[in-house]
Amino acid sequence: MELEIRRMTIEDLDSVIDIEEESFSVPWSRDSYESEISRNILSAYFVAEADGRIIGYCGMWFILDEAHITNIAVQKSFRGKGVGKRLVECLLEEASKKGIVNLTLEVRDGNIAARKLYEKMGFVVEGIRPGYYPDNHEDAIIMWKREEEQ
Ligand SMILES: CC(C)(COP(=O)(O)OP(=O)(O)OC[C@H]1O[C@@H](n2cnc3c(N)ncnc32)[C@H](O)[C@@H]1OP(=O)(O)O)[C@@H](O)C(=O)NCCC(=O)NCCS
């Protein structure tokens, strides 16, 4: 599979929203993504494209000297093929280009696939926010990847 990782544009949003809705119990809206890519200058969003199809995406916010990964998702039928790993690598590279070496994210306690992916990429668990997610009161696991761990 020939995979290209590039910046997300407005034209990608139909596909992004399809993947968002199949991936999350509380999906972000199209307006949120539109605002992220057109108005939030402290964000960076990318898509993974294979044979002209958007099959995944990711994004982050730059907050002072930290990067917060906001979303990452891969279309169901393309999971388990290394796309998620490529997307995280892209975020790490983009942060590094800006001189940012400390990255953080939140993940649902029960989201084993995502937790394993982040662990593989060098993130470690640093905290828990009990009952953080309003839809099912699941705990949020806070993970960090810091300079000395890279
Ligand atoms: C999490 C997600 C992005 C992973 O994407 P992916 O393309 O399937 O992941 P990859 O194929 O790159 O896998 C990379 C590593 O992640 C881990 N991993 C991925 N899927 C896994 C699963 N189902 N079970 C356990 N580990 C898994 C493995 O360590 C894997 O490395 P390996 O293949 O060498 O074992 C994908 O499952 C997804 O879109 N989930 C729904 C959205 C979501 O939960 N996003 C995260 C929100 S915090």
Q: Give the residue whose CA is nearest to atom 40 of ligand 1.
A: 73
42-45, Cβ contacts within 8 angstroms, sequence gap of 24 or more: 43/70, 44/7, 44/91, 44/94, 45/7, 45/8
Consecutive 10-residue averages of pLDDT for the chain (150 residues)? 96 98 96 96 97 97 96 98 98 96 97 98 98 96 84
Question: Does residue 106 carry a catalytic annotation?
Answer: yes
Of the residues 33, 45, 57, 118, only one is catalytic, namely: 118
Here the CATH number for the domain that contains residue 140 is: 3.40.630.30
Please tell me the distance from the alpha carbon of residue 120 to that of residue 32, in angstroms, as a whole number.
29
Q: Is 111 in the pocket of ligand 1 (CB under 6 A)?
A: yes
| pLDDT score recorded for residue 150 | 46
Please tell me the distance from the alpha carbon of residue 86 to that of residue 101, in angstroms, as a whole number.
18
pTM of the model: 0.97
| pLDDT score recorded for residue 20 | 98
Domain that holds residue 140: 3-149
Residue 42: phi and psi, rounded to 5, are -100, 30
Residue 76: phi and psi, rounded to 5, are -50, -45
For the chain, the domain total comes to: 1
Q: 65: helix, coil or strand?
A: coil
**Nearest atom within ligand 1 for CA of residue 56:** 39
